[in-house]
Amino acid sequence: MESQCAGTETEGTTSASTSTSAATAAIPEAESLPPLTPEQFKVYNRLAELMDYFHDHFRETWTTLYTACTTGRRPASMTLKQFLDAGVRLTQYLETHHTIEETHMYPLLARKMPTFRAAAAAHGAGSKKKKSQQDCELLRQHQAIHVGMEDFEAYLRACRSREVEFELSVLKEKMDSWGDVLMKHLDQEVEELGAENMRKFWTLEEMRAFPF
């Protein structure tokens, strides 16, 4: 698992340790746990499969755009407007996806999983460190993605309104600035939600009770 932020547990419907060290000590190693039955695996892996479903759509659109950049040709079936629209929609979908995660999913998962803790939960409102330094890796990835994504979207919109002339080489530069962190994030988030990791923190009943 990637490095995790330290922090205190937030109060919620599920019980958690009162300190990061205690929580970490209580996490069993995967090797010490009994094998999951197919039905148990399905329950524990549900969020990973759900997340990967959305991520596959992001990957598909990204690949369409980036392949055009590297080959120097748009897909024959797409007009320039359709191509630009696809890029803008990608940014809108990612923005909505991340907002939902940070508002609803991450806070709930963070009750037991340090990987999903935000700065306020991890260090308290009085911390003097910058928020970007406190947030856990998945949230720092969100921040890095959005920096590159905003420049990418601004260029597409400017091309769509004919303020600037569209060039695939320029679009490639815009995509290269955040492509690596995006792909890492899409993979890592699913890995964190995978059955073998989730079983370390949650019971089957808790997994079934998740509201998403």
pLDDT at 183: 98
pLDDT tens-place string over residues 181-200:
999 999 999 999 999 999 99
At residue 187, the 3 state secondary structure works out as: helix
pLDDT at 9: 36
Length of the chain equals 212
pLDDT tens-place string over residues 37-83:
999 999 999 999 999 999 999 999 999 999 999 999 999 999 999 99
pLDDT at 26: 53
Instruction: With beta carbons less than 8 A apart as the criterion, state whether 120 and 135 touch.
Output: no
Q: Work out the average pLDDT over 23-36.
A: 66
pLDDT at 125: 40
127 Cβ contact partners less than 8 Å away, ≥ 6 residues apart: 119, 134
pLDDT at 129: 45
Q: For residue 79, give the DSSP letter.
A: -
Residue 1 has pLDDT above 80, yes or no: no
Instruction: With beta carbons less than 8 A apart as the criterion, state whether 209 and 103 touch.
Output: no
pLDDT at 32: 79
More confident residue, 32 or 61: 61
pLDDT tens-place string over residues 80-125:
999 999 999 999 999 999 999 999 999 999 999 999 987 544 434 4
pLDDT at 135: 75
pLDDT at 150: 98
Instruction: With beta carbons less than 8 A apart as the criterion, state whether 6 and 114 touch.
Output: yes
pLDDT tens-place string over residues 117-175:
875 444 344 444 444 446 789 999 999 999 999 999 999 999 999 999 999 999 999 99
pLDDT at 28: 59
